[in-house]
C-alpha cells in the first residue's frame, strides 16, 4: 500500500487502494494529505527526527519549532500547492525541501 503519494500516479493508486478497503476518498484531499505528509517527512529527514512540525494551509506551509512557535513560511511556486503537485510533484518537493533547509539554517 502506498503510504505517502509522491506524484499523481501514486495518488490514483492510493485512491484505488482506499476504495478497495471500503473508504471513500476525494482526490483533492489525498493530494492535500500527500503534500502535508511529504513536507513533514522532508522536515523530519533534515532534522534527523520529528522535532519540528509543519502545517499546510492553502498556498503556504508553516514550519513550527518544538514549542509550536512559527519559524517560517513556505509559499507555493505557482497558484497553490495542489496545482504545483498536479503539474510536477517532484519539482514541488525539491522546492519545499530547499526552502525548508533555509528556514532550518536560520534557527
pLDDT in tens, 30-88: 999 999 999 999 999 999 999 999 999 989 999 999 999 999 999 999 999 999 999 99
Residue 77, domain member (yes or no): yes
- Domain membership of residue 67 as a residue range: 8-105
Compute φ and ψ for 67, nearest 5 degrees: -100, 20
User: What is the domain count for the chain?
Assistant: 1
Residue 55, domain member (yes or no): yes
Say what the pLDDT of residue 40 is: 98
What does the pLDDT look like over 76-88, one tens digit per residue? Answer: 999 999 999 999 9
Say what the pLDDT of residue 47 is: 94
CA-angle at 98, arms to 62 and 6, nearest 5°? 80
Say what the pLDDT of residue 107 is: 77
Sheet of 70-75, strands arranged across = 53-57, 60-64, 70-75
* pTM assigned to the model: 0.94
Say what the pLDDT of residue 1 is: 80
Residue 1, domain member (yes or no): no
Amino acid at each position: 500500500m502506498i503510504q505517502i503519494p509522491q506524484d499523481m500516479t501514486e495518488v490514483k493508486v492510493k485512491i484505488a487502494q482506499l476504495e478497495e478497503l471500503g473508504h471513500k476518498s476525494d482526490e483533492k484531499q489525498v493530494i492535500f494529505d500527500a503534500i502535508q505528509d511529504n513536507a513533514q517527512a522532508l522536515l523530519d529527514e533534515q532534522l534527523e527526527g520529528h522535532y519540528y512540525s509543519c502545517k499546510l494551509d492553502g498556498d503556504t506551509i508553516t514550519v513550527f519549532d518544538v514549542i509550536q512557535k512559527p519559524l517560517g513560511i513556505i509559499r507555493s511556486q505557482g497558484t497553490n500547492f495542489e496545482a504545483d503537485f498536479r503539474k510536477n510533484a517532484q519539482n514541488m518537493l525539491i522546492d519545499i525541501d530547499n526552502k525548508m533547509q533555509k528556514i532550518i539554517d536560520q534557527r
